[in-house]
Amino acid sequence: MNIRIIIKVCLLSLLQLNYIYSQETAANSITTGPVRGTLVIVGGGRLSDTIIEKFIELAGGAEARIVLVPTAAGASGYADSEGDMLRSRGAKNVTLLHTENRDTANSPYFARPLESATGIWFGGGRQWRLVDAYKGTLTETLFRKVLDRGGVIGGTSAGATIQGSFLARGDTKNNQIMLGDHQEGFGFVSNIAIDQHVLARNRQFDMYEILRERPELLGIGIDENTAAIVRGDTLEVLGASYVLIYDRSFWSREGSDMKKLPDNELLFYMLKQGDRYDLRKRAVLVQSPR
């Protein structure tokens, strides 16, 4: 074969491979929420009645069948305080589900409460414990089926971060390591890293560490007593404080034409109650009143 033809064939193959790779990369950088069901992603702290009552309403009201998963709290943290919190706000049917044993998590008998659940609530603690116990098991599969049936999954602190695809603060040594020895969450929202307690603990700059290594991700940080309610690809803010958005752009109610902003890699902005955000387009949708 003529050497020029060989070179042309090789170049065409490389171009085709590059196109396929670029298409896959673009697809892998799109952030999407669940096709069905709703997520209530809460930034920790003491929660107002508004957030808890919203979760119960989405799960079906007083007759909702809620499964409480306290596993993130560690072996000493299984007092039923979060169950009491849900019951005191009107939930009649709350079942506690916990194990640290993956064989148990693969057991149909153990996971049976999830088959009829209309809501799941993940408590706070360390998110990697949820990964160690449930990732890749029958229990995780049934978590997702609650969404598929139109149910709701909620969680606070560690129970917020676990809902993302990338597991922020997932290191077993301490909670200050952003890129830890556990980096994969349950992925109820794709291509996202979720942090919590952000303003209460001055964590607003910590997300940059993840995004420098994983620039394709959308970063969000949720402050205490604040929730990101996700339906499909739309996020809506509920609560007393703010959700921080790290999408390499900037938004402000007063505009930004006269602002002297830092480089895109260092930008973030805040959304408050009533604001809505398109996860797929990575753009603010509707602004709440001033």
Edge-to-edge strand list for the sheet holding 269-271: 192-196, 218-222, 243-246, 269-271
CA distances from 205 to 40, 193, 198, 265, 269 (A): 24, 14, 9, 11, 12
Residues 153 and 212 in one domain: yes
Q: Check residue 171 and give its pLDDT.
A: 97
Domain match, 26 and 166 both: no
- Amino acid 39: pLDDT: 98
| Total-model pTM | 0.89
Confidence at residue 114, expressed as pLDDT on a 0 to 100 scale: 98
269 and 150 within one domain = yes
Total domain count, the chain:
2
Integer Rg of the chain from CA: 21
State the pLDDT at residue 257.
85
23 and 40: one domain?
no
Query: What local confidence, expressed as pLDDT, does residue 19 receive?
Result: 41
* Same-domain status, 8 and 50: no
In a shared domain, residues 219 and 272:
yes
Amino acid at 289: P
pLDDT score for 289 = 56
Same domain, 67 and 18: no
3-class DSSP string for 27-91: HHCCCCCCCCCEEEEECCCCCCHHHHHHHHHHHCHHHCEEEEECHHHCCCCCCCHHHHHHHHCCC
Residues 116, 244: one domain?
A: yes
pLDDT along the chain (290 residues), means of 10: 62 52 54 98 95 96 95 75 85 93 97 98 97 98 98 98 98 97 98 98 98 98 98 98 97 89 94 97 77
- pLDDT given at position 1: 56
The phi, psi pair for 69, rounded to 5°, reads -115, 105
For residue 9, what are the domain limits?
1-30
pLDDT for res 11: 59
CA distance 167 to 184: 5
